[in-house]
A and B are shown apart, each in its own frame.
Chain A
Amino acid sequence: MGLPGRGLAGGLATTFRTMTRRSITQQYPDVSPDLPPRTRGVIALLEENCTVCMLCARECPDWCIYIDSHKETLPATTEGGRERTRNVLDRFAIDFSLCMYCGICIEACPFDALFWSPEFEYAELDIRELVHERDRLALWMDTVPPPPPLDPGAEEAKEIAAARKAVAAPAPTGDRHGEGAAR
């Protein structure tokens, strides 16, 4: 407890100081907002990577990913070889009226086919039009930013660490100590 009225004066000082500073408003439709990296705007699909494993659709808590596919048989590449089957994607759609942007599908995808894009201007007049098909999801791939650099001192991604190890010790010698030294 200081002088009486100190709190009042403090409040007045705060508002006045705020007034002399630049306001933080972003004039959105005129000026595009500067969004933080990893903004969860919309989910983009990199079709080439998708193997139709259905993990994303199964993990989605809202069941709002719709995937249709069929199997295709590829003829054998060598004489007398075995025929191979592969999945072909027929439909990939996400219903953004149900999606809660939890990002579980993106985490679950083992083939890096789903990405967060910061794009957010896809409002529709009818809620049913928020189901976006694969062509629209693929278009959004162009807006996916490169991954932000790691924080200083952060642990390297596992894949990169493994690749580095492979380069440093090319021939598997079975010598565990050598491997340790290469690190």
Chain B
Amino acid sequence: MSVLDLLLRLVLLLACFLVLPLVVGQIEHKAMAHMQSRLGPMYAGGFHGWAQLVADGVKFAQKEDVLPAAADPWVFRLAPALALLPYLVVLALIPVGAGQAVVSADVGIFLVLAVMGIGIIGTVMAGWASANKFSVLGALRAAAQLLSYELPLVLAAASVAMAAGTLSLPGIVEAWRPWWLLWQLPGALIFLVAGLAELSRSPFDMPVAESEIIFGAYTEYAGLRFALFLLAEYAGIVVLGALTTVLFLGGWKWPFLVGGLGWLWTLVKTLAVAFLVIWLRVSLPRLREDQLQRLAWAWLVPLALVQLMITGVVRVMG
């Protein structure tokens, strides 16, 4: 891989990382609006408000950068970056087409799951540094949520890795067969639900439950730093969609139009998962903290273990 090639890939990656979350955000604006029989943004940019999020970004940039008097300034300033960057790293590891990943690692799945967990540190830092009790509560809720849901997430991913017999992400897609859709279905659902919980997305958005703790760890943030946290949320959706695609939906594989257009299928599947995430947010009410923990430990973990068992049995028999 030449330096030029690497540079090109990095630029592409950065472009994707900045554009895809906005696309998902815009889809959320529009889909949510229509699901509620509204129109959503209609003016910005002229055609059906396509530039709404760009306009929002400009607005955020103009806002005052507020630093609470009692805040820990360095940690406070560093937190948004720490929340956002892990997703960039994960996105770099996603194979979008056959042999088309920015970086490829042999233990990709391992690395991806480990790095994804780092994002939570940004939230915890934000909560602690804000010197605000609601922020601390939100951060601790987010951390508790991550701890409970990391286990089913990893177990579900382990099931696929076991089925494919490899830990590398492209390897998993290579080994993937359409009938895995059925075989790994419980794992896929568990992965998606646990992923939602890790992102603190509805219906698992206890850490930012506005009726109880304002906006959780992000309460004290304003302007660009707040925008970065928002971007991190949507980047998280993109990454979750891409990971689900790679692990459970066959990545760039499709019955037709494979050729050099595999990345298109990856994109389509990723956006489909993102739509599902949005759809769930619009339709389902927020879970209570105890229900949330109960779901993880009483349902997802045992189900993930069962999935692992099924995978193991089929592997040994087959």
Q: Which residues of A contact B (CB under 8 A)?
A: 8, 11-12, 14-16, 18-19, 21, 23-25, 27
Contacts and interface: CB of A to CB of B under 8 A. Distances in A.
Contact of A8 (B34, B37, B282, B284): B284
B283 interface: yes
Nearest to B42: A27
Nearest to B30: A19
Given A11-B284, A27-B42, A16 B37 contact: no
Nearest to A25: B39
Contact of B39 (A8, A15, A23): A23
B282 A23 contact: no
**Among B34, B39, B42: residue with most chain A CB under 10 A:** B34
Main secondary structure of the interface of B (DSSP, over half): helix
Interface string B273-287: 000000110111000
B284 A25 contact: no
Interface size class of B (residues with CB under 8 A): 10 to 19
Contacts of A23: 33-34, 37-39
Contacts of A8: 283-284
B38 A15 contact: no
Nearest to B203: A8
A23 B38 CA distance: 5
Nearest to B278: A15
| Candidate in A8, A15, A25 with the most chain B CB atoms within 10 angstroms | A15
Contacts of A14: 283
A11 B283 contact: yes
Interface in B6-53: 31, 33-39, 42
A15 B282 contact: yes
Contacts of B39: 23, 25, 27
B283 A19 contact: no
A16 B35 contact: yes
A72 to B, nearest CB: 56
A12 B283 CA distance: 5
B280 A19 contact: no
Nearest to A11: B283
Given A8-B283, A15-B282, A27-B39, 6 more contacts: A12-B284, A15-B283, A16-B35, A21-B37, A23-B37, A25-B39
A19 B35 contact: yes
A15 B282 CA distance: 7
Contact of A12 (B31, B34, B38, B279): B279
9 tightest Cβ-Cβ pairs between the two chains A and B: A15-B35, A11-B283, A25-B39, A19-B34, A15-B283, A19-B35, A23-B37, A12-B283, A15-B282
30 contacts: A8-B283, A8-B284, A11-B283, A11-B284, A12-B279, A12-B283, A12-B284, A14-B283, A15-B35, A15-B36, A15-B282, A15-B283, A16-B35, A16-B279, A18-B34, A18-B35, A18-B36, A18-B37, A19-B31, A19-B34, A21-B37, A23-B33, A23-B34, A23-B37, A23-B39, A24-B37, A25-B37, A25-B39, A27-B39, A27-B42
Interface in B252-298: 279-280, 282-284
A15 B28 CA distance: 13
